[in-house]
Amino acid sequence: MSTAGTDAELNIDANPEAGAAGPSRSPLGLVILIVLIDLLGFSLVMPLLGPFAKEYQLEGWRVGLLFAAFPICQLIAGPILGRLSDRYGRRPLLVFSQAGTALSFVILGLARDYPTMLLGRMLDGASGGNIMVAQAYVADVTRPEHRARGMGMIGMAFGLGFVLGPLLGGLMQDLPLAPGWHLRAPFLAAAGFSTIALILVIARLPESLPPGSRPKQAARVLTRRGLVDVFRLDGVGALAAVAFLSVLAWASLEGTFAVFLQRRMGWTPKGAAYAFAATGLLSAIVQGGLIRSLVPRFGELRLILAGTLLAGLGFALVAATPGTGVVPLALAIVLFAVGSGLLSPSILGLLSRITPAGEQGAVFGALTSIQTLARIASYLLGNVLLDRVSDSAPYWFATAVYALTLVVALLAAPRLAGALRRSAAVADLNGDA
C-alpha cells in the first residue's frame, strides 16, 4: 500500500479487502473524490429546486414539502443504513446510496407532475447515506489520532462541492437548450455526477471492513438499539448534543443568507453566490489544510470550543451589520466560515475516536439523523423569524444557540476527555494483544 502524500499523513492502518480492480493504493483519496463528485451533483440542483417547482405554480406548502421530503426520509433511513453498513460493509451501502441518488435525479429531471417530483425527493432522502457511510469508511481506514484530519478532508470536499455546484448550475442557465429544459438539465447533470461516483465505487473502492471485524449479531435497526441506545455509549450522547446544537445554529444561515443579503445589503443573487463561495472556500481551507496541524497541537476538544466561539461571534456580527457594512460582513464571513471549519471535523474526529469500532456506522447514522432533524427545524424557524420578526432575527437566534453550544461543550468536556482516555486505553490493549 502506498504511503505517499495525504494517505501517509493520515497514517492509514486499515487493510481493506481488494476491490474489483485490486487497487494497491489507500482508498482514502478515492473516498474523498467520490464525496466531492456526489456533492457537486447535490449542490448543483438545490438552488434550482424552488424555481423548478414554481414553474408548476405549486402552493407554498407543497414546495416546502418538496424540500422537506429529502431530510425527513433521510432522518428515518440514516440509522438503518449505518447499522447495515456495520453488518454488511461500507461498499455495498455506498453502491446502494449512489444508485438511489442517481435514479432520484433522473426522476426529478423528467418529472411532469408533483407526485413524481415528491417521489424523486423521497427516494433521494431514503438512499441518502452516501456521506454518513463515507464518514464511517474514513474512520475505518485512519488511525484514531488522525481521524479528525480524515473528517476534515470530507469537510473540504463539502466546501468545494458547495462552491462549485451552485456556480455550475448558474452557468447551465446560459446553455442553448430547448424551452423548459434550463431547469431540468441540471438535475440530469447531477444524475451524471452520481453515476460517475457509483462507477468509481464499483470499479475501484475496496471494502474497508475485514470480515472478522463486522458485528456477529444481526443488524439491529429500528429496535431498542436505535437512537437512544446508540447515544448511551460513553461520551457519545454529550458530543451528539453539541453536534445537534451547532447544526441548529448553522443551518439558519443556509436557509436565509441569500434573502438576508438581498434585503439588508441590496445584493443580487450573483453577489449572494459569491458570499456562499467565499464561505465554502474558507471552510474548505480550514477543514482540508489547517485542521491537520491544529488537531495534534490543540486536540479536538479545544478546537470545538474555539470553533463554536468564532462561529457565534460571526453570526452576531452578521445580525448587527448595517446595510452599508461590507467590511463587517466580510469579517463575519471569515469568522463563521473558520469557526465552522474547525467545529465540524473536530466533532466528527472526536466522535470516531470514542466510538467502538463495531458501532461506527450506527453512531454516524444516528448522528446524521439528529443533525438532519436540527436542519429541518432551523430551516423552518429561520425563515419564520426572517419573515415575521426581522432580517437579523435568524442570526440573533443562531448566536444564542452557539452560546448554548459553548456551555454544553464546556460542561461535557471532562466526560469527553474521560471517554477519550478510556478509548485510547482499550485501543492500546487491543494493539498489545
Q: What is the pLDDT of residue 53?
A: 61
Domain range 226-417, CATH architecture = Up-down Bundle (1.20)
CA–CA dist 225, 268 (Å, integer): 48
Helix axes 130-141, 90-110, angle to 10 degrees: 160
Q: Do domains 25-210 and 226-417 have the same CATH topology?
A: yes
Q: What is the pLDDT of residue 229?
A: 65
Q: What is the pLDDT of residue 106?
A: 94
Q: What are the pLDDT tens digits along the chain (433 aa)?
A: 333 344 444 444 444 543 333 434 567 778 888 888 877 877 777 766 655 665 777 664 676 677 777 888 877 887 788 778 878 888 888 898 889 989 999 999 999 888 999 899 889 888 876 777 777 788 777 777 667 677 777 777 777 787 787 778 777 877 888 877 877 888 899 899 889 988 988 988 888 776 655 554 444 444 445 566 666 776 788 888 999 999 999 988 877 787 788 778 887 766 777 787 788 788 878 887 788 888 888 888 899 999 999 999 999 999 998 877 789 999 999 999 999 999 988 888 888 887 776 677 677 777 877 888 888 888 778 877 887 788 899 899 999 999 999 999 999 888 888 877 777 666 556 554 5
CA–CA dist 83, 237 (Å, integer): 17
Element (H, E) at 379: helix 360-388
Q: What is the pLDDT of residue 32?
A: 83
Residue 176's CB is within 10 A of a number of other CB atoms, namely 5
For residue 357, the 8-state DSSP code is G
Residue 128 is which amino acid? G
Which phi and psi angles does 201 have, rounded to 5°? -65, -50
Q: Which residue has the cell 447544526?
A: 247
Q: What is the pLDDT of residue 22?
A: 40
Q: What is the pLDDT of residue 1?
A: 32
395-397-402 Cα angle (round to 5): 90
Q: What is the pLDDT of residue 2?
A: 35
CA–CA dist 65, 49 (Å, integer): 12
pTM above 0.85, yes or no: no
CA dihedral 266, 270, 273, 275 (to 10 degrees): -50
Q: What is the pLDDT of residue 23?
A: 39
As a CATH number, domain 25-210 is: 1.20.1250.20
Q: Please enumerate in sequence order all residues whose Cβ is within 8 A of that of 152, keeping only pairs 6 or more positions apart, or say none.
A: 286, 287, 288, 291, 292, 345, 349
Which phi and psi angles does 226 have, rounded to 5°? -85, -145
Every domain of the chain and the residues it spans: 25-210, 226-417
Contact assessment for residue 412 and residue 239, using Cβ atoms and an 8 Å cutoff: yes
Q: What is the pLDDT of residue 9?
A: 43
Q: Please enumerate in sequence order all residues whose Cβ is within 8 A of that of 403, keeping only pairs 6 or more positions apart, or say none.
A: 312
Q: Please enumerate in sequence order all residues whose Cβ is within 8 A of that of 341, keeping only pairs 6 or more positions apart, or say none.
A: 155, 159, 282, 283, 284, 285, 286, 287, 290, 291, 307
Q: Which residue has the cell 431498542?
A: 224
